Structure 1
Amino acid sequence: MAREVHAAREIRELPKAHLHLHFTGSMRPSTLLELADRHGVHLPEALTSGEPPQLRATDERGWFRFQRLYDIARSCLRTPEDIHRLVREAAEMDAEDGSRWLEIQVDPTSYAPRLGGLIPAMEIILDAVRTASRDTGVGMGVIVAANRMKHPLDARTLARLAVRYADQGVIGFGLSNDERRGLARDFDRAFAIAREGGLLAVPHGGELTGPPSVRDCLDDLHAQRIGHGVRAVEDPRLLRRLADSGVTCEVCPSSNVALGVYEKPEDVPLRALWEAGVPMALGADDPLLFGSRLAAQYQIARDVHHFADAELAELARQSLRASCAPPETLARLLADVDAWLAARTA
């Protein structure tokens, strides 16, 4: 049998879901520059050089620098028009990469002071998502994410807010920021509120810290997906548990390398997760800071980890199955994946 020519099928034409994209981190670099100029925000050279900043967040100093750059970028989002622009452009860029379903993650408390309060901020974000989805054809949902660095009571407030809008575009509840801060069990009540309200539990774990953080997300927060989760490969029993339970890991190869979790793309354990049977959804995390978007993650799987087109198609299916896309949308997109794979190659 002839060996498959990997370049034959265009990765951007492969229908897929994007399940790990942070709100400010989705911004186009050119948009950041324009908004900073409009609002009089001074940007450090790391955000204006035209190249992704040099980051390494495996120690607290590095994480602080990463978070500082993110916070500066976020400060450029000041009006409803800014929010609408960011969401529209995120959907447009995802569409270019073949994403047919996007779940964007946001902590609305970060935008509330400039948008009139927590509820107005949430409603502006959801209106922007509905408009962008309508205009681009990309299905969209919102994950409301609590911050590990804040008090668990703040997370409960966000969980109640998320449930309030569960029928208006909010589909999940997450937990982000430095995994080394804040025990998962401190946020168990917030996640219980979200689950009782019908939302998906999607906390971060297993990136900056090892397998115990993934287990904590499963045991204490009853996670249905894990943001990152790659460090689970260090524990074979945990890998089996993820595979047996069908919990999807949202794997972000470029992010893992940029933050120093792994030294180079070939070190990211895509093959180990795949061979263990752990479902994966490739994600771009924060393209503004890491310099690559969704299609580039599939390109890494193809070029660096030697995933054949049939395997890439299965990765796309796994991302779609793990999404909150409506059943009729899911069925259509899975059929489109099959059509991509069935198409004759050059």
Structure 2
Amino acid sequence: MPRPLDTLPKAHLHLHFTGSMRHSTLIELAGEQGLHLPDALVEDWPPRLRATDERGWFRFQRLYDIARSVLSTPEHVYRLLRETAEDEVAAGSRWLEIQVDPSGFAQRFGGLTATLELMLDAAAQAAQRADVGVAVVVAANRTKHPLDANTLARLAAQFVGQGVVGFGLSNDERRGEARDFERAFRIARRAGLVAVPHGGELLGPRSIAQCVDDLGADRVGHGVRAAEDERLMERLADRQICCEVCPTSNVGLGVAERAADVPLRRLFDAGVPIALGADDPLLFGSRLLRQYELAREVYGFDDAEVAELARQSVRASAAPEPVRKELLQGVDDWLASPE
């Protein structure tokens, strides 16, 4: 019998705030508030999403916005992060970096600063209760003006050492060049934040190269299409720039037809560091543990390789050094245990 994957210590570096909500919580909160949910979020869940064209992405974003609308009170924020932390522990995740765009909730919770403070407090309480590390990545929206990103970068910089560890750039990478957001990432990097923009999901290798060259990316959200360019994979491997690969999400959005088509093995064998992620479990139907199961079942990773995936996630994280050492030792212990 192979070793159980839920006891393998790992870090989760690609999870979005609203998308981390439990489906049962979405249904319950919508019912309490009398909010109508489309069939795609109820009977037909998880929804069939193909976002490789504008219509498909619009549908994905619409469902995401509907899900966000049920989070209407601070208590909902505390609940979401409490449950997310519990789900992380169940998957063997010992460190989580959750991506938050405070502007999506600012009008609801008293402005950008008040919203981020609320989320940081909720994250800290959830971490303590579940005994798991939880940190926040403030993510700008690529479809908005770069000046909005600058504002978020300055906000994130104010909370370095108070729970914010990184700065990201999410949403449709076909809308807005990475270089347009260079100033925001310069602000973030100067403050000591990890740079984690999305790239190489809906667009190809050039998108990833721009994230690296123009934004100084330490990690790339998704990055799977680096596999289309040998020289780019060499660059990522040489510089140890991690790709946050989310297989279930790639299939859900139509980036890959099936899980076997996600080039996880190709990236791994090329030496590109990988951190498996669940992206938005609420819309894709599976959490972090399933991504590790796919590594074993679909991509043929043995226990030593799965352990190395876990190590790479820890090394690419912003976890404090003592936490990293503890998790890496835990991975070694897992691998040394009997099958």
Q: TM-score, normalised by structure 2?
A: 0.99
Match of 2:166 in 1: 172
- Structure 1 CA distance, aligned partners of 2:21 and 2:311? 26
Match of 2:106 in 1: 112
Match of 1:96 in 2: 90
Tell me the secondary structure at the aligned position of residue 91 of structure 1: helix
Structure 2 counterparts to residues 42-53 of structure 1, below 5 A:
42-49=36-43, 51-53=45-47
- Structure 2 CA distance, aligned partners of 1:212 and 1:333? 34
Structure 2 counterparts to residues 146-157 of structure 1, below 5 A:
146-157=140-151
Deviations 1:211-249 (A, max 9, x none): 000000011000000000000111110000000000000
Tell me the secondary structure at the aligned position of residue 189 of structure 2: helix
Deviations 1:120-155 (A, max 9, x none): 111000000000000001101100000011000000
- Structure 2 CA distance, aligned partners of 1:108 and 1:75? 14
Match of 1:232 in 2: 226
Match of 2:17 in 1: 23
- Structure 2 CA distance, aligned partners of 1:310 and 1:215? 30
- Structure 2 CA distance, aligned partners of 1:89 and 1:11? 20
Corresponding position: 1:77 with 2:71: yes
Cα shift at 1:301: 0.5
- Structure 1 stretches of 5 or more lacking a match? 1-6
Structure 2 counterparts to residues 179-190 of structure 1, below 5 A:
179-190=173-184
Tell me the secondary structure at the aligned position of residue 113 of structure 1: coil
Corresponding position: 1:204 with 2:192: no
Structure 2 counterparts to residues 287-326 of structure 1, below 5 A:
287-326=281-320
Cα shift at 1:50: 5.9
Opposite residue 28 of structure 2, the aligned amino acid is: E
Cα shift at 1:100: 0.2
Cα shift at 1:116: 1.3
Tell me the secondary structure at the aligned position of residue 217 of structure 2: coil
- Structure 1 CA distance, aligned partners of 2:255 and 2:323? 35
Residue 185 (structure 2) aligned to one of 180, 188, 191: 191
Corresponding position: 1:132 with 2:126: yes
Deviations 1:275-327 (A, max 9, x none): 10000000000000000000000000000011000000000000000001111
Task: Please tell me the root mean square deviation across aligned C-alpha atoms, in Å.
Answer: 0.7
Cα shift at 1:51: 2.7
- Structure 1 CA distance, aligned partners of 2:161 and 2:269? 37
Opposite residue 304 of structure 2, the aligned amino acid is: A
Cα shift at 1:39: 2.2
Match of 1:4 in 2: none
Deviates more, 1:116-125 or 1:279-288: 116-125
- Structure 2 CA distance, aligned partners of 1:8 and 1:188? 45
Q: TM-score, normalised by structure 1?
A: 0.97
Opposite residue 43 of structure 2, the aligned amino acid is: S
Cα shift at 1:167: 1.5
Deviations 1:65-106 (A, max 9, x none): 000000000011111100000001011001000000000001
Q: How many residues align?
A: 339
Opposite residue 331 of structure 2, the aligned amino acid is: V
Deviations 1:51-73 (A, max 9, x none): 31010000000000000000000
Cα shift at 1:42: 1.2
Cα shift at 1:34: 1.1
Query: Taking every aligned residue pair, what percent have the same amino acid on both sides?
Result: 66
Preserved contact between residue 85 and residue 127 of structure 2 (Cα < 8 Å): yes
Preserved contact between residue 39 and residue 45 of structure 2 (Cα < 8 Å): no
Match of 1:217 in 2: 211
Cα shift at 1:8: 2.1
Residue 250 (structure 1) aligned to one of 241, 244, 248: 244
- Structure 2 stretches of 5 or more lacking a match? none
Moved over 6 A (4+): none
Preserved contact between residue 99 and residue 138 of structure 2 (Cα < 8 Å): yes
Opposite residue 104 of structure 1, the aligned amino acid is: I
Match of 1:261 in 2: 255
